[in-house]
Amino acid sequence: MDTFKHQKSRSSGDKNTKSRKNPKHFTDVHGLPCIEKIVTSVEDIPEPISTNIIGMIPNWINGNFLRNGPGKFEMGNHRFNHWFDGMALLHQFKISNGEVTYRSRFLSSDSYQTNKEQNRIVMSEFGTLTMPDPCKNFFQRFVSRFELPKPTDNANVSFVTYKGDFYVSTETNIMHKVDPETLEAIQKVDWSKFIAVNGATAHPHTEPDGTVYNMGNSYSSKGAYYNIIKVPPTKVAEEETLEGTTVLCSIPAEDKTKPSYYHSFAMSENYVVFIEQPIKMDLLKIVTGKLTRKSISDGFSWNPKLNTILHLIHKLTGKVSSIKYLAKPISTFHQINAYEEDGFLIIDLCASDDGQAIANYNIQNLRKSGEALDEVFCTHEDLHGEDLHKYGGLEFPQINYSKYNMHPYHYFYGCGFRHLVGDTLLKMDIRRKEMKVWEHPSLYPSEPIFVPCPYATEEDDGIILSVIITPNKDKSTFLLVLDAKTFKELGRAVVPVNIPYGFHGTFSSTA
Residue 9 has what pLDDT?
34
Residue 142 has what pLDDT?
41
Residue 83 has what pLDDT?
85
Read off φ and ψ for residue 209, nearest 5 degrees. Answer: -85, 0
Return the H-helix or E-strand segment holding 286.
Answer: helix 283-287
Cα separation, 411 vs 430, in Å, equals 6
Write the CB contacts of 482 (distance below 8 Å, at least 6 apart in sequence).
Answer: 425, 438, 448, 463, 464, 466, 488, 489, 490
Q: Is 126 left (phi over 0), alpha (psi -120 to 50) or beta?
A: alpha
> What's the whole-model pTM score?
0.87
Domain count, the chain: 1
Cα separation, 505 vs 68, in Å, equals 6
Domain of residue 292, residue span: 3-509
Cα separation, 12 vs 16, in Å, equals 6
**What ranges make up the beta strands (E) of 246-366?**
246-252, 266-267, 271-276, 279-281, 300-302, 308-314, 324-327, 335-341, 344-349
**Dihedral sign (CA 39, 398, 175, 281):** negative
Residues of the chain with pLDDT under 50: 1-32, 137-146, 369-372
pLDDT digit string, tens, across residues 316-352: 999 999 998 999 999 999 999 999 999 889 999 998 8
Residue 133 has what pLDDT?
54
Residue 2 has what pLDDT?
30
Cα separation, 475 vs 495, in Å, equals 7
Residue 135 has what pLDDT?
53
Cα separation, 418 vs 28, in Å, equals 9
Residue 11 has what pLDDT?
31
Q: Is 240 left (phi over 0), alpha (psi -120 to 50) or beta?
A: beta
Residue 297 has what pLDDT?
80
